[in-house]
Amino acid sequence: MKKIAVLDIQGGFGNQIFQFAFAFFLKSKGYKIFLNYEYFQLENSRSLVFKDADFNFQKVTKLQIFLFKLLNKLSLSNKIPGVIKKYLSKYFLKIKSAENFKQIKKLPPYILCRGYFQDLSYLDSFRPEFENYLNKKGNKKNSENYHRILLHIRRTDYLNMGEELKLDFFTKALSYCYENISDFRYDIFTDDIDWVKNQSIFKSASNIFHKKEVHSADKASETLDTFLDMLNYDTYIVGNSTYSLMAYEFSHSDEKKIIAAMPWFRDRSFGNIYPKDSIFIENS
């Protein structure tokens, strides 16, 4: 029987990479992938950076998404007899997260994927394709002979969520660098440049790059250009952002290091999101 997966693309840059990686993983399992972009029709949605054609996938049709939504509705309905729902479960399933997926013993031929799938293990299926994509976009390696550190400070949407990192995190992260790395310079990438400039600990930064959290399709190229600039560092202080986490994952450095917040979010658990040998700073 033909196997089909409809996968929602949603969220910001880092989450889009996780979702495309999961799509490639499902493709390796024999599924034909169709991508759903309904999220980006919502007000204040993020910019859609990657398209289905970038990685040889297809956009879901209106009929396909209608049928998959109908199957999902039927699977959840209390009005449907149990015997019918049991029969339906052999052919259809909705998957909400990487943790949810790992609990499934046998996949049905039709699956609806609606989650972020933030698990680094799925990057293995996607890495060659994405690196090829980045090279086509003008990916250039850094030639500086000193150690370069990227410090990512994300605040705007995190303030509303109550998940912004405290100043103490960045103080400890920079202290680690001063104690363990010689001859380095660091640049800051942030969406809150006023806050950064008002903190004395950041006065020694070589550059401060301001990237706003934009929510329009015409800003997608700006998001990608910033990401390409973020690839040329040796140590990444990513805090708790998947945007800079992905920059670390696809960076050019052979001796790269990553400094991350533990826990990633204070009020939400995450699975396999930390790279091997991560250096942890407490997120209190």
Residues 156 and 257 in one domain: yes
Flag the least confident range among 38-52, 112-126, 241-255.
38-52
Residues 102 and 153 in one domain: no
Residues 254-272 have pLDDT tens digits of: 889 999 999 999 988 888 9
Residues 30-65 have pLDDT tens digits of: 999 999 999 998 877 788 999 899 999 999 999 999
Q: Letter for the amino acid at 237? A: I
Element spanning 150, H or E: strand 147-153
Share of the chain above pLDDT 90, in %: 82
The residue count of the chain comes to 284
Residues 91 and 149 in one domain: no
pLDDT at 103 over 60: yes
Q: Structure pTM?
A: 0.92
SS3 letters for 249-260? Answer: HCCCCCCCEEEE
Number of structural domains found in the chain: 2
Residues 261 and 157 in one domain: yes
Residues 132-188 have pLDDT tens digits of: 999 998 866 666 778 999 999 999 999 999 999 999 999 999 999 999 999 999 999
Q: In this structure, what CATH number is given to the domain that contains residue 221?
A: 3.40.50
- Mean pLDDT (whole number) for 116-129: 94
Residues 232 and 185 in one domain: yes
Asked which of 83, 108, 135 is the last residue of a domain, the reply is 135
CA angle 65, 36, 132 (to 5 degrees): 145
Using DSSP's 3-state secondary structure scheme, residue 199 falls into coil
Residues 200 and 129 in one domain: no
Q: How far apart are the first and last CA of the chain?
A: 50
DSSP conformation class of 217: G
CA angle 277, 279, 281 (to 5 degrees): 150
What is the predicted pLDDT for the residue at 155? 95
pLDDT at 214 over 70: no
Asked which of 135, 166, 192 is the last residue of a domain, the reply is 135
Rg (the chain; Cα; Å)? 21
Residues 184 and 270 in one domain: yes
Residues 149 and 211 in one domain: yes
Residues 95 and 151 in one domain: no
Residues 120 and 151 in one domain: no
Q: Which domain holds residue 202?
A: 144-282
Nearest alpha carbon to residue 5 among 91, 84, 70: 91
Residues 92 and 19 in one domain: yes
Residues 111 and 149 in one domain: no
What is the predicted pLDDT for the residue at 29? 95
